[in-house]
């Protein structure tokens, strides 16, 4: 009877210890592997660059000193564009929608986010621009005081202090 009780108390501890050990091992194993994988990747990149080859495939770099072949150069370009478009749309959705607050133009190529109380130019020039501003907004959990406007309305507002859409008095 005593043996039985002891065993019951003993077992869960052992089981828990084993789980803990396995978890720790798993984490370490994962970390080691990740470090090794990163190291190998860096080494491979370095070797490819030394040979003047693409870092993603065995083809020749599109020009001397470049990191990618002609095909991967285009892929990276498209990827960068797509990811910054996604970011832009996400930001617009947080600041009133995907259209100009003044003239309702909804072509995202024309739209940008600026400071609502008129010192947008200063804020952008001094702190951040374009993609960097959008990344900053997302990182800072979309602070208030920004709005979506098209280039025309934004320019008119910055240059004349009013947008002709709204009239001089507005």
Footprint (CB under 5 A) of Zn ion, residues 97-116: 100, 102-103, 105
* Position 72 contacts Zn ion (CB under 5 A): yes
41 vs 138, beta carbon nearer Zn ion:
41
* Position 69 contacts Zn ion (CB under 5 A): yes
12 vs 65, beta carbon nearer Zn ion:
65
* Position 57 contacts Zn ion (CB under 5 A): yes
Would you call 50 helix, strand, or coil by DSSP? Answer: helix
Distance between CA atoms of 80 and 68, rounded to whole angstroms? 14
15 vs 57, beta carbon nearer Zn ion:
57
Cβ atoms < 10 Å from Cβ of 143: 9
Distances (CA, A) of 158 to 13, 138, 161: 69, 24, 6
Whole-number minimum distance, CB 69 to Zn ion, in Å?
3
Site string for Zn ion, 26-45 (x = CB under 5 A): --------------------
**How many residues of this chain bind Zn ion (CB under 5 A)?**
14
Whole-number minimum distance, CB 73 to Zn ion, in Å?
8
140: Cα separation from own chain's centroid? 13
* Burial class (CB within 10 angstroms; exposed 0-12, middle 13-18, buried 19+) of 167: exposed
The closest alpha carbon to 148, from 107, 105, 100, belongs to: 100
User: Which residues of this chain interact with Zn ion, rule CB under 5 A?
Assistant: 54, 56-57, 59, 69, 72, 100, 102-103, 105, 150, 153, 163, 165
């Amino acid at each position: 009877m005593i043996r039985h009780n002891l065993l019951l108390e003993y077992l869960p501890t052992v089981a828990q210890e084993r789980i803990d050990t396995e978890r720790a091992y798993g984490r370490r194993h994962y970390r080691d592997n990740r470090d090794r994988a990163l190291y190998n990747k860096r080494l491979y990149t370095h070797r490819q660059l030394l040979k003047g080859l693409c870092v993603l495939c065995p083809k020749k770099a599109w020009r001397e000193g470049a990191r990618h072949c002609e095909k991967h150069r285009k892929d990276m370009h498209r990827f960068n564009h797509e990811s910054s478009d996604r970011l832009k749309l996400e930001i617009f959705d947080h600041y009133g929608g995907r259209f100009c607050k003044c003239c309702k133009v909804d072509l995202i190529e024309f739209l940008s986010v600026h400071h609502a109380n008129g010192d947008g130019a200063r804020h952008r020039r001094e702190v951040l621009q374009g993609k960097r501003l959008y990344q900053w907004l997302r990182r800072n959990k979309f602070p208030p005081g920004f709005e979506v406007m098209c280039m025309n309305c934004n320019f008119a507002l910055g240059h004349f202090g009013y947008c002709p859409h709204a009239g001089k008095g507005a």
